[in-house]
Structure 1
Amino acid sequence: MSVSPVRTALLGYGSASQVFHVPLLRALPEVQLVAVASRNPGAAAALPEAQIFNTSEDLLAESDAELVVVATPNRTHVDLARAALEAGRHVLVEKPFTLTVAEAQALVTLAQERGLVLSVFHNRRWDGDFLTLRQVLESGELGRVTALHSHFDRFRPEVRDRWRESAEPGAGIWYDLGPHLIDQALTLFGLPQRVRADLARVRPGAQSDDRAEVTLDYSDATGERRVTLHASMLTAWTAPRFAVHGTAGSFVIEGLDPQEEALKAGETPGAPGWGHSAGRTSAAAGRLITAQGEREIPRLPGDYPALYRALAASIREGSPPPVTVQQALDTVRVLAAAQRSQTLGSGWVSLDALA
């Protein structure tokens, strides 16, 4: 029996929608773009398949969309997600989910009370480099992991006039790239015991943090383990995307996943060869180094379409969403713990304090 696609609406038609959501919604039979709320003058011509609304209020009142994707500036996420849930729609929120733990918990409670699916667009779980790292860790070849270094660095020395680099709430690199790095760490190891942050403005004229180095402490009775998350807008030479060390060896993989580049180039998500790095960026196979020597670990293909497929299955079949509300809430707890650590002067902050 065929299943009808999930009728989907977008709130916002900025870079996140244009690069990620629209191509994915168009490519997958499980979802169908039917409405967009945006004052972007180019939206109507670019999206002939969708009904265009000037406001989110009009869209929620008049559209028949079942799923609403919140792809607007970070400070607006909570109000728009709440309105969509109150209108009886399932909701997918761009990262970061919310700016505070209290806001996240309120949305989780509302979704549960209404029996609606609520999830977050943590698409970097389906990066090829991360999938390869996860495969290596699950193999056990590294022994007990003692350290993981996760880098998401860029070289953009000029501050641009855009909300992500402004002084408004939710701006800055920590709220932009931090959610990706946190979600990946939590997917591998769960919640840390404590968090320590060093957030800085390193470019002339920066209005919000453009460098972040945050350490997650996973030490327990088996020994110490630290995960270091690093993001920067002023790094011309980039460190390996992941470097992980254990009692039996190390694993290193370089280069960013090629899917974002492919989406910007207009390639079709899920087409043959999708997610492979051939001919794109510096993405390469990983290297596993142990006492037995060094060998290449083939890089797995990335798969952003998997997130929307799983979300559609959750709505249609009741299966777990690709990012659960608890996982979304936990990521916000770590975001907030890092902010508190920065306020306190880069000291350790226990996650228990943010329960």
Structure 2
Amino acid sequence: MNAALDRLLSMLHDGAAARTLSLADWEPVLRLGRQARLLGLLGHRLASDEALWSALPPQVRGHFRSAINYSACRLQAVRMELRALDPVLPADVRVVLLKGAAYAAQGLEFACGRMPNDVDLLVTRADLDATEAALRAAGWVADDVDAYDERYYREWSHELPPMRKPGHALELDLHHTIAPVTSRTRADDALLFAGMVPLAGTRFWVLHPCDQIVHAAIHLFQDTELDGRLRDLVDIDGLIRHHLRSDADWVELLSRARSHRASRMLWYALHFCAAWLGTPVPAARWPEAPPEAARRAMDWIVPRTCLPRLPDGAPGLERRLAGQIAQLRYHRLRMPTGLLIRHLAHKAWAGVLPRRPAREGVEA
């Protein structure tokens, strides 16, 4: 781990570490923070300590102010999107906010400075068609995908193709569960929906606090290729610090992770959060550890993929190799072997076919 990355992680753990940086030290740290989409969050944390904020070089404060302002704009876009969705969604359907929209709606500390690109909603499978129809009737349009991808989304995935409404800044993702239906890790949907919590003063709901942590762990360690995902670990760290206040909370987290068949994903999340962000994890409240070979493999892959890097040159051989292994792991966890072979064959064939012309008004 290089010095700039070490300084960034130290500040994410304890903002007071910023006092030790010279102006020359700040340049790569700011660049890494921007690459990780964490500059706004870090800026909010530093600005909350007036003495610390005043001690920062003016040039550094300027970068943080810019990130804070941009993140505020993105957060306002989320609020506007939710206001637009409120009267459109079927009144008799319980709609759950996921990930960034949920964190913002709950007013969680680490949501200040986040830079969301989309709004994620969750409804039951039984309510999916009615909700999609209501959105389409109100002007939300799904991405243009081919017949194979359309089937993939509707039969094998946990969400529909992304939707947009002309004139709106954010994409909308409509989910019916929190993990692909073909994946190794499958949520207990009955437990998931029974644990939903209403958001006071709104028509929206959020997941049970422990399910928010489990979902974030599943999303990072199963449903992404790990590339540049430090922000996801910061989310998990923030959720743990906010929601888990007692031993009983930790007991419930482990129980719900087992029910959702996500204990291994949670172990990885706790392992890297504790190592890089100082996340407090009681010694007696860890999930069952993965096999040693899997732990060693992830300890090699995750730092080389998840952590940001300066884009001054091509990634080194180790990072490229780790990225390829992480990509294979991602596909293997999401699909059984037969479906994976079929999926990769289709994508390979599609890659050699001529591209369809872009729809009018849409860039290719």
Q: Where on the TM-score scale, by shorter chain, does this alignment land: which range?
A: under 0.3
Bigger RCO (CA 8 Å, 6+ sep): 1
Structure 1 length-normalised TM: 0.25
TM-score, structure 2 as length reference: 0.25
